[in-house]
A and B are shown apart, each in its own frame.
Chain A
Amino acid sequence: MLRYLIRRLMIAIPVLFGILFMSFMFTRLLPGDPLLMMMSVEEFSATDEYMEQRRSDLGLDKPVPVQYVVWVGEVFQGNLGTSFHRRAPVTELIWDRLGPTALLTGTGILLALIIGIPIGVMAAVRQNSWFDYFSATGSMLAISIPNFFLGLMAIFIFSLQLRWLPTGGLRTLGMEPSLGDSLKHLIMPAGVLSAVLIGPYVRYTRQSMLDVLRQDHITTATAKGVRGRSIVIFHGLRNALIPLTTVIAIQIPALLAGTVIIETIFSWPGMGQLVLEAIRRRDYPIIIGVVLFSAVLVMIFNLIADLLAAILDPRIRL
């Protein structure tokens, strides 16, 4: 187990530096002075002499590899620069938006798992039935409908026509925060966000279940007299979950990309909204900060998924 973990980390480390490198390249390739991308709030009003001093401190007059090392050092200390527009440290801005985004994506994944896995299992158990056919078409539809269109339709139907749910925001302004109110605001964006995931989850669960159910040990379990339902859950799904952990992690970038659109449509004050606003204003430090942060997050989730797979599969543990 430990050796496996170390091997995974050995692969993750070059990826981490690759992610940092790509982000660094953006700071150098984007229009504008790289120095601007690394300043603190106070420094915006500093004198020119001071800025020249800073420039040489940060190694900006040195060759690019040195600049990279210095930049990575700054990032590890939590310095992602300062927003041009908001005049606040990027780390702080991301931190403020992390909560709503975590809530949104967490609920989205949860919904997708709760809906997607049982449908996938059923579709595999009843292969080629009407249920299988409908779930396949339905999940294809979920993959194909653009999420912004789905979001607009949801608002149109549930907020404007039926008036069941608010059109957006984290909670009703001017009202005491309550769980019910928050849930009402959460359900629509999270549901639309989860639609992106449900399709792949259904398809992979079904495929992975079919692969397992074809295996000999399922026949053994049947021949032992194990009940059909127990076979499906304890021998089928239990084994099918192993490849599924990777699939769930693979979808995380798509999920984070989805937040850009969903948070915009539903006025959800999260990282996605922050980054889109920054793109519109050419506020590069924020963009790079969010992108870097997301990529590291994805890397961490991949590691967790691999770890989970190792826990679920004794054959990997060695």
Chain B
Amino acid sequence: MTDDLRPDEQATDHVDGGPVPGIPPDQSEWDDSLPIQSPWRIAWRRFKRHRLAFGGLIFVIILVAIAILAPILAPQDPNVVDVSASRNPPSADHLLGTDSAGRDVLSRLIFGSRVSLTVGVAAALSAAGLGTLLGLLAGVAGGWIDAIIMRVVDVFLSFPSLMLILLLVAVLGPSVVTIIVVIAFFEWPTACRIVRQMALSIKEQDFVLAARATGSSRWRIMRKHVAPGVLSPLTVVATLLSAGAILLEAALSFLGLGVKQPQASWGGMLEEAQSLTILKEMPWLWIPPGAIIALTVLAINFIGDGLRDALDPRQQM
């Protein structure tokens, strides 16, 4: 027996001594031999079968296109104030009517997608990035570093993050960048927990133990084995984080602490509906932005669900 035998070859080399007939893995001609496919390809195939997730993906793609092409698609300038045309119901000129300042609701809706999508993507990526970094550190380093990071996570998760986000935005002044930074600062612990969990379980797997036995350094193991392994659950988490971030931004804007007026944002458009008159008499002012937030978040959540099923059917939240 030579030294460079791979472990799996060694296993087939000896005759099984147990009561079960030892059966060497021989190519059975009746086995459907599947062509070897990359895991991402298989995942894509599974994802496509998830109809709601696929629908969600198409919805988001369309939304991104609308956000990019907003200046071309919008029938009017979203910020032009026309007091004479205040609170007009939908008409040929203004398909979704006008708001209290006489601005075109449809145009504001189209431009509002930019804020929601920017916040959704940027906040989720930063939160996931920060969470991954700390999660990997905790999971791979272990010991007291792990203990400290996890206690910090516990502390962050104890706070109702909306209150702190509101506070910080109020102090720092509302802007898209502030909102992104603040959301990322309070939403990273979810990603951190999941990445740590994955890192821990990967660390215990045989191929990693083998790598460690052959003298690979901790950080090499992390780069080569653990980091790729956490990628698939991380995609799911990032997706769900972005749905959460969009909801948070909408809530902030709804409370008047989001992006600065007159910039259009969906949550901000709903702010006016806190007045009962508008709520009752002018549904065109608040139903479309509310519905579009719900649809966007729903679409992203469906994508997250589809990704979870596609990447690992047994993976839970």
Contact = CB atoms under 8 A, between A and B. Distances in A.
Interface of A: 11, 14-15, 18-19, 21-22, 26, 30-31, 137, 140-141, 143-149, 152-153, 155-156, 160, 167, 203-204, 207, 250, 253-254, 256-258, 260-261, 264-265, 275-276, 279-280, 282, 287, 290-291, 294-296, 298-299, 302
A206 B267 CA distance: 32
Contacts of A22: 155, 159
Contact of B166 (A31, A146, A260): A260
Q: Secondary structure at chain A's binding surface: helix, strand, loop or mixed? A: helix
B158 A298 contact: yes
Given A144-B297, A145-B294, A279-B166, A257 B243 contact: no
A111 to B, nearest CB: 19
A30 B171 contact: yes
Contacts of B286: 149, 152
Nearest to B257: A279
Most buried by A among B162, B276, B297: B162
**Interchain residue pairs A-B with the least CB separation, the first 10:** A257-B162, A149-B290, A18-B155, A144-B298, A257-B160, A256-B160, A144-B297, A295-B158, A298-B158, A145-B294
Contacts of B155: 15, 18-19, 21-22, 295
Interface of B: 52, 151-152, 154-155, 157-164, 166-167, 170-171, 243, 247, 250-251, 254-257, 267, 270, 273-274, 276, 279-280, 283, 286, 290-291, 293-294, 297-298, 301-302, 305, 316-317
Contact of A144 (B152, B161, B294): B294
Given A149-B291, A155-B279, A253-B158, 4 more contacts: A137-B52, A146-B293, A260-B162, A279-B167
Given A18-B151, A18-B155, A140-B305, A146 B251 contact: yes
Given A253-B158, A275-B163, A148 B251 contact: yes
A152 B170 contact: no
Contacts of A296: 158
